[in-house]
Structure formats: structure tokens, C-alpha cells
Structure 1
Amino acid sequence: MAAEPAPTRPLNLRERKKLRTRAEIRKVTYRLAAEQGWDAVTIERIATAAEVSPSTVVRYFPVREDIVLTDEKDAVLAARLLARPAAEPPLESLRAILLDAVRTALTEEPAETRLRARLMVEIPAVRARLTETTAETAQMLARALAERTGRDADDLEVRVFTAAVLGALREATVFWAERGQADDLVPLLDRTVDTLRDGLSL
């Protein structure tokens, strides 16, 4: 039987305000990047557009690239991973939760999702930071996967496996963006997981 994610307490007023501020900073950053290009999007311009101080932007996002690369969904992914059927192979569990997250992003935030992928290809600093944030997400999912499989939280095989899956999906997203985002991303990611499962045919 699948484990149920732990209930979360309601957010207090201060926490809700912080989330709204983070969301507004992200929103204006995407708009400015689409209109002016990433290099022109300074902390000062983001702060002005979001009607906050530059120090507030830096407090929420010490690394500018994180504005377009991070969100609050990692904890949700971990909970969904823990809730997958207990007998399901780990690769299929990761396929299910990660592809569903991408599918949701393309439906709910299509412009932002496509812009993020384009910046990954065009801006070296964004791509470099993506590698770091992907590693952080992999560590978090590895802990959840270790819990599901009864392994140690710092198990080498779990860490390598999870990092490999996320790294492969990141590379597939870059592949998609390099080719003008012409194909459907989710089937490409599904194909990527198949390649991890089946290996490279000769």
C-alpha cells in the first residue's frame, strides 16, 4: 500500500506573504527576460517591477538564476514519490512524478516553461546553475526514494540512480530547447526514461 504524504499545517500570514512576494518576483523576472533578454534583467530592474527593494530580491533569491530555475514544488515531488505504489519499480515512480510535473508546467505556465528552457541553452550562467539545482533536487528525491526502498538515506546506489534520472531528463530538455522546442517535450522525456531502462541499442 502506498504511503500517504504527511499532512502539512496551514501557512500563517507571514508565510503566505513571503510566497506571494517570491511569486511576484518570478512573474516580473520572466516578463522582463522575455521582453529585454536575460542580460538586461538586473536585480534593480526586477525590484522596481516587483515593487520591492533590491535587498528583498537578493534575500529571496541570492543567486539571480534561481529566480527562473527554482520553485516550491520539490517538497511536493518528494511527497508524491512517497505516495507511489510500494511495489512499483523506482524508475517508474520517478517517471510518473517527474513527467507529470513537466506536463503540469507546460499546461499551467507554458510561456515560462519554454522561456526557462531557452535560457538554459542560451545563457551559460543559467545552465551552470541548473546543474547545481538539479543536484539539490536529486538529493531530496534520493532521500524519499531511500525511505520507500528501506535503504540508508545516504545510500550510494540510490544517489547515483536518482542523479542519473534527473541528469538524463535535464539533457533531454536541453535537446528539446536546442531544436527550437518543435517536438512535444513530455514524449521526449518518456523516451529518455525508456533509454535509461533499456540501454542503448546497437
Structure 2
Amino acid sequence: MSVELPANGTVQGLRERKKERTRRTIRFEAFRLFREQGYNETTVEQIAAAADVSPSTFFRYFPTKEQLVLADDLDPLMIDALRRQPRDVAPMVALRNVVAEVFGNLPVAELAFEQERQALLYHVPELRSAIGLEIVRGIDLIAGLLADHLGRAADDFEVRVASGALAGAALAISTITPMNVDNITRALDFLGAGLPLGPAREAGQG
């Protein structure tokens, strides 16, 4: 009787799942330590010990402690969801659908984690210096997605401007309010309507 070895894809799948568990454990323990003793006061060595890995293993997953906060786990979900949107759907509508899908299916714990990540990124002074790089990364990511959806080039002027507006909107709402489906959808609707910014309404006005 011959023994059939598992397909390479199966082995790779097990390895990938193990790597993802290790990565999530490192981030979970890091954020717990950030809450308990502060971002600056937490060292890579402490995070590695809490996650039961070596510092060298930590650096295989995250080049720096800063990158541990910058890494956005929602990006792959958003990319996959947008690629499944019909090409004849307007970009803002497609993005609205994507936000509703991704955030609507996000477990409560993962949404809380993302909101905590955003809070750290925009309110810890030592991390704020990285916001510029994060915005550029966001613009590049959005431009690639919009270009793919529209069949245009990622460096197309209008695609880049639209991407910058979307990335800027995400930054603006993240600094003042939780990042959730309602706030993101509201921002997308406002942008899609052409930024109809008027004077403040008087009390009692509809």
C-alpha cells in the first residue's frame, strides 16, 4: 500500500495559518502592553516575551515596533471585496459597497482592534511622524484599486486626485471619530456629492 503525502498546497496552508497565528499573537500582546504601560515604555523584547517568541522572530514579522501599529490587516479584505465589484458600478458606490461588506462582516473584537490601532497611530506623538508615509501608502493603494476598477492607469491625474481625497478623508475622520461603517460611508457620500459644504445651520432649521 502506498502512502500519499499531503499536497504541497495543504502543507503551505498549514504553514501560512501558523504564521498568521504567530503574527496575530505578537500584535495582540503588543497592544495589551501598550494599554497597560504605554507605547514608548513597551520594548520589542517585552512584546516578544509576552508572545512567547524570540526578538529575532518578532523582526521577521515586523521590521520595527512602529510597523506593528502601521500594518493594516483590512487592506487585503478591502482589495478582494473591490475586485469583486462589477466594473460598471461607479467608484464611490463600489467603495461604499466594499465598506459595508468588510465592516459589516468584521467581528466585534477585530473592529475594536482596528479602532485602537487608528487611535494609537494618530494620537501617539512618536507615531504621528509616520502619518505622512501612511498617507502616501494609502494613496498608492487606492489609486491601484481605482485604476483596476476603472481600467485606467494608476498614475492618471484624476485617479491620483480622487485617491488623495479619499486618503485625506480617512485621515480626517480617524483623528476625530471612530473608524466604522457609518462614519466611512458618511465621508464617501459627502465626497461623492461633490463636497457640498455650506454655512452652519441655525438651531431648529431642517
When normalised by structure 1's length, the TM-score is: 0.79
1:17 maps onto 2:18 in alignment? yes
1:159 maps onto 2:160 in alignment? yes
Residues in 2 aligned to 1:126 and 1:100: alpha-carbon distance in whole angstroms = 29
Change (3 A) 1:171 1:102: farther
Change (3 A) 1:111 1:194: closer
Q: Deviations over 1:44-96 (max 9, x none)?
A: 11011011111221221113122133144423322211211222211222233
The letter for the 1-side match of 2:190 is T
Residues in 1 aligned to 2:182 and 2:124: alpha-carbon distance in whole angstroms = 25
The letter for the 2-side match of 1:20 is R
Tell me the residue number matched to 2:185. Answer: 190
Q: Which has the larger radius of gyration?
A: 2
Change (3 A) 1:29 1:105: farther
Residues in 2 aligned to 1:137 and 1:95: alpha-carbon distance in whole angstroms = 17
The 8 Å contact of residues 105 and 113 in structure 1, kept in 2 or not, is answered as: no
Change (3 A) 1:174 1:103: farther
Higher helix share: 1
In the alignment, structure 2 segments of 5+ residues that lack a partner are: 1-8, 200-206
1:66 maps onto 2:67 in alignment? yes
When normalised by structure 2's length, the TM-score is: 0.77
Q: CA deviation at 1:138?
A: 3.2
1:201 maps onto 2:198 in alignment? yes
The two structures, once aligned, show a CA RMSD in angstroms of: 2.5
Q: CA deviation at 1:191?
A: 2.2
Residues in 2 aligned to 1:92 and 1:45: alpha-carbon distance in whole angstroms = 44
The 8 Å contact of residues 146 and 158 in structure 1, kept in 2 or not, is answered as: yes
Alignment of 1:1-202 (within 5 A): 11-105=12-106, 107-176=108-177, 185-198=180-193, 199=195, 200-202=197-199
The letter for the 1-side match of 2:187 is T
The 8 Å contact of residues 81 and 102 in structure 2, kept in 1 or not, is answered as: no
Identical pairs, percent: 36
3-state secondary structure, aligned to 1:119:
helix
* Greater relative CO, 1 or 2 (CA 8 Å, sep 6+): 1
For these two proteins, the number of residue pairs brought into alignment is: 188
Residues in 2 aligned to 1:161 and 1:109: alpha-carbon distance in whole angstroms = 28
In the alignment, structure 1 segments of 5+ residues that lack a partner are: 1-8
